[in-house]
Amino acid sequence: MSMAPQTVTLLLLINTLCLLACTAWLLMARVRHFARRVSWVMAAVNVLLVLGIGLYALRGRPDWPALLTHEGSVTLLMAAFGLMCSFGPLIALEAPRWRAPAGLVLATLALLLLLPQGSRWWLTVSALGITLMILLICHGVYIRLLRVVKAATALLLTLPYILLSLMFALRGLGFVLLDPSQQGLLTQSLTNTLWLWTGFLMVLLINAQVAFMLVLRLVLQLQQLIHQDALTGALNRRAFELAMKQAHAAHERGQAQALVLVDMDHFKRLNDELGHPAGDEALRWLVARVREVLREVDTIARLGGEEFALLLHESDKQGAFQVAERVRARLRQLDWQWQGRPWPLRASFGVAAWEAGDSGPERVLARADAALYEAKRQGRDRVC
Ligand SMILES: Nc1nc2c(ncn2[C@@H]2O[C@H](COP(=O)(O)OP(=O)(O)OP(=O)(O)O)[C@@H](O)[C@H]2O)c(=O)[nH]1
């Protein structure tokens, strides 16, 4: 089959774009050492797309085996999207998930081998196999994005995949409803030209979208570095001061806000007897237990050493007192151990709430500090 010149140009354009994108990802991985695993995977995705599209363009040529240009091209295209699907979780620094994409590639290939090559149903299965794979990517990307951006933004960023899956789904349906000989991409028609231009745009958008997600990941990592305490994962002092200012602003808008200071008891003794690593583990353990008691909206920060602060939103002094008692009870109830040796981890708590006339957050901090001092003075392991 001889291809229309316009189709050749468009296919060449898409493949040139894939090659350029592949070079950019390789440079990212090799030279910039930026997000190396994802960059390698995206380079491979673009190479697979080039090969898949290249083999597709050779359909009907007598010197090329039909198995390569038919089943081969579909498998390569599916593998390209399958790779994105399995290694997409790397963007969120999670382990790759390859079972579902690999299963889908194999199932589609098996079906294609069973059906007469190039028939109406063969074409439909190949298009729908690719559609399902892209939908699988859609789902993963959307869920990952939901963790960091709002639903509407996540949907917008997932749009290239939604559109791409729609393109393939419509093609698959077209093969069922219309004469497949008129539907081959290689013949010249307005629909095909539109389809190929959209394909070009989608390749561009998908590469840009992955790059955007990596930048987003970098920003989040930087934010974490700036705001998080490295040992416990709680907010650090700088972030706490910011959160206190926000709580004060909320108080001025009429929202109840409360603060609980937590200081572990006899922590020096624990460090002296069990060693510093045990002390570190105890601090991490405490933060994890406190988190189990707090609501999502509440904040835990490490002020330094073994002192922590809990910022409780829409909570008055009574509510904060209850939260502190709950944490204290949890510490007493759960036995902390270090290398099989039980150690009673206890803490003292100072509670204060924003009051009318508080001119700034430092007033609340001073009251909570005084309450904590009182708890220590009265013998520790209590809430004041
Ligand atoms: N393991 C570990 N210990 C720390 C860390 N930061 C501070 N410390 C130790 O925490 C201990 C705090 O001791 P103190 O201020 O005397 O407090 P305490 O022994 O808990 O006494 P009270 O608060 O009065 O019950 C010191 O021994 C510090 O070295 C840390 O990040 N890891």
pLDDT tens column, 121-158: 898 999 999 999 999 998 888 888 888 888 998 898 89
End-to-end CA distance of the chain: 86
pLDDT-derived band at 89 (thresholds 50, 70, 90) equals confident
User: How far does residue 246's CA lie from ligand 1's centre (Å)?
Assistant: 29
Exposed/middle/buried for 114, CB within 10 Å: 0-12, 13-18, 19+? exposed
Rounded Cα distance between 235 and 242, Å, is 10
Instruction: Tell me: do 150 and 31 sit in the same domain.
Output: yes
Strands laid side by side in the 257-264 sheet: 299-304, 307-313, 257-264, 347-353
User: Measured from the CB, is residue 274 less than 6 Å from ligand 1?
Assistant: no
Q: Which of 226, 248, 280 is the last residue of a domain?
A: 226
Tens of pLDDT along 234-269?
A: 999 999 999 999 999 999 999 999 999 999 999 999
Tokens of 310: 């809990």
Indicate whether 184 pLDDT > 80: no
Rounded Cα distance between 356 and 383, Å, is 23
Rounded Cα distance between 77 and 46, Å, is 10
Instruction: Tell me: do 45 and 187 sit in the same domain.
Output: yes
User: How far does residue 232's CA lie from ligand 1's centre (Å)?
Assistant: 15
Residue 231 lies in a domain: no
Q: How many domains does the chain have?
A: 2
Instruction: Tell me: do 207 and 307 sit in the same domain.
Output: no
Domain range for 199 is 5-226
Residue 382 lies in a domain: no
pLDDT at 273: 94
Instruction: Tell me: do 49 and 140 sit in the same domain.
Output: yes
Catalytic residue of the set 306, 314, 355, 362 = 306
User: Measured from the CB, is residue 273 less than 6 Å from ligand 1?
Assistant: no
Residue bearing the CA closest to ligand 1, atom 6: 305
The preferred substitution site among 306, 349, 374 for testing ligand 1, maximizing ligand atoms within 8 Å of CB, is 306
Helix (H) or strand (E) holding 136: helix 120-146
Average per-residue pLDDT for the chain: 90
Rounded Cα distance between 318 and 324, Å, is 10
Q: State the average pLDDT over residues 11-28.
A: 95
User: How far does residue 268's CA lie from ligand 1's centre (Å)?
Assistant: 5
Rounded Cα distance between 324 and 193, Å, is 66
pLDDT-derived band at 2 (thresholds 50, 70, 90) equals low
Residue 356 lies in a domain: yes
Instruction: Tell me: do 215 and 244 sit in the same domain.
Output: no
Residue 45 lies in a domain: yes
Query: Among 16-20, 88-92, 133-137, 321-325, where is mean pLDDT lowest?
Result: 88-92
User: Measured from the CB, is residue 276 less than 6 Å from ligand 1?
Assistant: yes
Task: Report ipTM for this prediction.
Answer: 0.94
Q: State the average pLDDT over residues 159-182.
A: 83
Residue 39 lies in a domain: yes
pTM listed for this prediction: 0.68
Instruction: Tell me: do 100 and 197 sit in the same domain.
Output: yes
HEC assignment per residue over 35-68: CHHHHHHHHHHHHHHHHHHHHHHCCCCCCCCHHH
Specify the 3-state DSSP secondary structure of 256: coil
Instruction: Tell me: do 99 and 34 sit in the same domain.
Output: yes
Q: Which of 226, 258, 274 is the last residue of a domain?
A: 226
Q: Does residue 306 have an active-site annotation? A: yes
Instruction: Tell me: do 76 and 201 sit in the same domain.
Output: yes
Indicate whether 67 pLDDT > 90: yes
Q: Which of 226, 261, 279 is the last residue of a domain?
A: 226
Instruction: Tell me: do 127 and 10 sit in the same domain.
Output: yes
pLDDT at 51: 96
Instruction: Tell me: do 69 and 20 sit in the same domain.
Output: yes
* Cα–Cα distances in angstroms (integers) from residue 371 to residues 123, 126, 286, 362, in the given order: 74, 70, 20, 14
User: Which amino acid is residue 173, in one-letter code?
Assistant: L
User: Measured from the CB, is residue 306 less than 6 Å from ligand 1?
Assistant: yes
CATH code assigned at 349: 3.30.70.270
Look up residue 348 and give its DSSP letter: E
CATH code assigned at 181: 1.20.1070
Instruction: Tell me: do 45 and 128 sit in the same domain.
Output: yes
Query: Among 12-16, 54-58, 180-184, where is mean pLDDT lowest?
Result: 180-184
Residue 25 lies in a domain: yes
Residue bearing the CA closest to ligand 1, atom 14: 268
Residue bearing the CA closest to ligand 1, atom 11: 268
User: Measured from the CB, is residue 61 less than 6 Å from ligand 1?
Assistant: no
* Among 317, 269, 312, 267, CA closest to 293: 312
Instruction: Tell me: do 304 and 190 sit in the same domain.
Output: no
Residue 383 lies in a domain: no
Residue 232 lies in a domain: no
Collect all residues with Cβ–Cβ distance below 8 Å to 59 and sequence separation of at least 6. Answer: 1, 66, 69, 70, 73, 118, 184, 186
The preferred substitution site among 265, 267, 271 for testing ligand 1, maximizing ligand atoms within 8 Å of CB, is 267
Residue bearing the CA closest to ligand 1, atom 32: 280
pLDDT at 7: 87
pLDDT at 182: 56
pLDDT at 183: 55
